[in-house]
Structure 1
Amino acid sequence: MYRCVSPLLAAFAAGVVSISAQAQVHRPFPVQALRGELVVLQTPDVALNGRPAKLAPGARLRGDTNLLLQPAAVAGQKLIVHYTVDPNGLLMDVWVLNPAELANKVWPRTPQEAAAWSFDQASQIWTR
């Protein structure tokens, strides 16, 4: 009869708890990140706010727990995201928002809004 928990099982359980707890944390986003609705079509093709767009060759797509996602894993789903664009207009960094981040409703959707609003990097809050 085994009286102790295997270290591998304990590490797995701790990881699951850590991931689910992390999902509710508001991650720090760069000031140039914009909010939008993303649908992955066929990589690198996506629809961003209903318009055609492309993922950059080195694009990173992070899920709501901040783990990297394969674009094919979320193909066809409408995702609310924060994203950055490289100098060529391609999507570079994409973060799928978790419930805590979605609660922060004031976030610029265009570069013009971002230029007109002010951003507090520490609290991750935009003000108009």
Structure 2
Amino acid sequence: MSTATLEHGPLGALEQALQEERRALLDNDVMALLASTEAKVRALRQAEAHPPPAAAAARLDALRRLNQANGVLLARRRREVDWALRHLGRVESTGTYNAAGLAGTRAHGRSLAVV
């Protein structure tokens, strides 16, 4: 596989999707984040269908690091949203399931004013 194919093939599409995902996370753009996630999944499926050669190992490692960095940004955004919801008295997801297989939630009430 040539360098040009790697640039414009599945790895090129994956890199572009990861860059768009990062931009969406930094800009707090939910619609762009959804679109970039769809593009990332498509690129990953293409890469799985047509695996890159061993010579692309360094590029794959760079893409892995970019994906991990995006994961760190996403986790930070989630913590910010959870914090805001908690302070607004909204229900916060625990990320676990109860015995009935339903997502667990914790109710946090908070008075914002006294009347």
**TM-score between both structures, scaled by the size of structure 2:** 0.30
Structure of higher RCO (CA pairs closer than 8 Å, 6+ residues apart): 1
Q: Max radius of gyration: which structure?
A: 2
With structure 1 as the length reference, what TM-score do the two structures score?
0.27
Structure 1 or 2: more helix by fraction = 2
The structure that is strand-richer by fraction is: 1
